Chains A and B, each alone.
Chain A
C-alpha cells in the first residue's frame, strides 16, 4: 500500500485534534472576558430605573431614605473611601517592611524567611467573616478601651478624635481592613522587589553602601511604580471587602469628621438592604450601589494591574 495517503490521514487527524483542543480552551478563555462584560451590562440594565430617576444626583446626595424613596449614595462612598484610606495609611508601611524583610534581609536565612512568609500568607487565607467575628468581639472592645479612649481623652480637641469612642466605628473598620490587605500588598511588593535586577544592588554595594542604603537608594526607587501598583491593588481589596467591615463599622449612614463615629460602606449597604427592598425603585437603587462599587473596583484594578504588569514583564526581558 502506498504510504502517502496514510500519512495524509494521520496529519489530518492530528490537526483536527489540535483545532478541537484549541477551540475548546479558547472558548473557556473567552468565557472569562464575556463574564466580566455581562456583569457590567447586567448591573447597568437593572439599575436603569434609578439611573434615569436620580441621574448624577445619586452620587452626591447625602440622604438615604427608603421610606420616601430619596436615595443618595454619598455617605456610603465617603465611608468606603475613608476606611480604605485608613487601611492604606496603616497597612502600607507594615507591608513594605515585611516585603523588604522577605526579599532583602531573609534571603540568607533559609528557614526564617519562608516560614514568616507563609505565616503572612496565611492571613490572606482567613475568611472575611472570621475577621468580622473576631473584630466585633475582640478588636472593637480593645480599640475602644486601649486606643480610642486615650486618644479621645488627650487629643479630643481635634475633630477626628472628637466624639465618644464606641468601638464599632470607622477607625476599627480601618484597622481590620489594614490587617486584611497586608498579605496582598506585602506579597506583591515582595515579588516586585525580587524582580529588581541584582546588578542594581551590586553596583551600590561596590561603592561601599550599607544594606539599608542599598535598599533605600538602589532597590526601592527602582521598584517604585510596582510598589505603587501593589498599593493600589490593596486599595482595591479594601474597597471591595464586605463581611468584616459590615460587622465592625456600626452601619449608620453619617458623614462625620470623627474617626470614632459609626459609618457605612457601599458593601455593607448591599449586605444589609439588598434583600429588603420594598419597591422597584429601591431595588434599582441597590443595584446602582453595586454598579458604583463595580466601577470603583474596575478602575482601581485596571490601574494596579497595568502598573504591576509593566514592572514584572519588563524585568522578565532584562533578567
Chain B
C-alpha cells in the first residue's frame, strides 16, 4: 500500500515539474530586455514585446489591491473579533463560497454592472473584477492570522485601559501583520494570473494603458490570445509571457512560505 501512496504523490508532483520545465524551455528563447520593454508588434514584425501587457496587469492588479485590501481586512477583523454574531457566520460562509466561485461569473457580473453602464470595456472594470477575486482570500487570511494572536496580548492591552478598538488596530493587527502580508501577497498572485474575468471586462489592447476608462491588455490575456494565434512569433511571445508569470508566481509563493514559517515559529514561542 505504501507503494500506491508514493505513486499517487509522484503522479501529483510530476505535472508541476513538466509544466515548469516546458514553460522555461519554451519561454527562455523569447526573454530579453527588449521583450519586456517594447510594445507588441503585428505578426511577422520583429522587435515586439509585452510592455503594454505588463503595465496593464500592474495597473489593474494594483488598483484591485487598493479596493480589495481595506474591505477584505475589515471583514476579516469582523470574523475574528465578533465570531458569535449571526452576520459573522453568514458572511464567513458566503466568503468561503465566493472564494471557490467560478471567476468567469464574476466577470459577467462586472460586465453587467460596469461595462454595460459605461458602454466600454475598461481597465477600471477589469480592476473591479480582480478585486472581487481577491476579496475572499484577503478576508480569510486576515481572520486566520488575527485568530492566532494570543489572548494574553489582548488582555494585557485591555488591562492597561486601552480601548478595544485601539487594542484591535494596534495590538492585534500589529501582531498579526505578517499573516496579513501573506494574505495580500497570495491574493496578488492569484489576481495576476486570472484571465477569465478580464475577458469580459478589460478585454485587450496592444497599447500602453493611458486611461482607466479604456480597454487594457494584461499578461494572462496576452498568453491566451497569442497562444491560440496561428503566428509562430506570437506563440513564442506567449511562452515568454508565461515564463514571466510563472516566475512571478513562484517568487510570491516562496516569499509567502518564508513569511508563514516566521509567523508560526513566533506564535509557538508565545504559547
Residues of A within 8 A of B (CB): 13-14, 17-18, 20-22, 24-33, 35-36, 38-39, 42-43, 46, 93-98, 100-101, 105, 116, 118-123, 125-134, 136-138, 179, 182-183, 186, 211-212, 233, 236-237, 239-243, 247, 267, 270-271, 274-275, 287, 290, 293-294, 297-298, 301-302, 304-305, 309
Contact = CB atoms under 8 A, between A and B. Distances in A.
A30 B109 contact: no
B271 interface: no
Contacts of A240: 100-105
A183 B85 CA distance: 32
A43 B104 CA distance: 12
Contact of B227 (A14, A132, A138, A211): A132
Given A25-B78, A32-B139, A242-B103, A97 B7 contact: yes
B156 interface: no
A297 B165 contact: no
Contacts of B73: 28
Contact of B223 (A32, A123, A125, A133): A133
Nearest to A27: B74
Contacts of A125: 189-190, 193, 249-250, 253
Contacts, number: 251
Contacts of B195: 127-129, 242-243
Contacts of B151: none
A89 to B, nearest CB: 14
A14 B166 CA distance: 9
Contacts of B228: 136, 247
Most central of A98, A130, A236, A298 by chain B CB within 10 Å: A130
A36 B209 CA distance: 30
Interface stretch (B30-38, B41-49, B89-97): B89-97
29 contacts: A18-B165, A22-B165, A25-B81, A33-B90, A35-B135, A94-B12, A97-B5, A98-B8, A100-B5, A101-B6, A101-B9, A105-B2, A116-B9, A116-B13, A121-B253, A126-B249, A127-B249, A133-B224, A134-B19, A137-B22, A137-B26, A179-B15, A186-B12, A212-B1, A242-B102, A270-B104, A275-B203, A290-B108, A301-B96
Contacts of A98: 8-9, 12
Given A98-B8, A287-B108, A297-B101, A129 B74 contact: no
Given A96-B8, A247-B228, A290-B105, A30 B91 contact: yes
Contact of A35 (B16, B132, B224): B132
Nearest to B97: A301
Given A127-B220, A275-B200, A133 B11 contact: no
Most central of B77, B102, B196 by chain A CB within 10 Å: B102
Given A22-B82, A98-B12, A120-B12, 5 more contacts: A26-B82, A30-B87, A97-B11, A128-B193, A242-B196
Given A26-B78, A43-B109, A301-B100, A32 B91 contact: yes
A110 to B, nearest CB: 13
B19 A305 contact: no
A29 B91 contact: yes
B94 A271 contact: no
A43 B105 contact: yes
A60 to B, nearest CB: 22
A302 B200 contact: no
Nearest to B221: A129
A106 B18 CA distance: 24
B8 A17 contact: no
A206 B112 CA distance: 62
Nearest to B16: A123
A31 B15 contact: no
A33 B5 contact: no
Nearest to A134: B19
A305 B93 contact: yes
A287 to B, nearest CB: 7
B13 A237 contact: no
Given A126-B249, A133-B239, A35 B102 contact: no
A301 B108 contact: no
A20 B74 CA distance: 12
A21 B23 contact: no
Nearest to B106: A39
Nearest to A186: B12
Contacts of A36: 94, 97-98, 101
B9 A130 contact: no
Contact of A275 (B94, B135, B199): B199
A130 B242 contact: yes
B246 A126 contact: yes
B224 A243 contact: yes
B104 A271 contact: yes
Contact of A130 (B2, B19, B75, B77): B19
Nearest to B197: A242
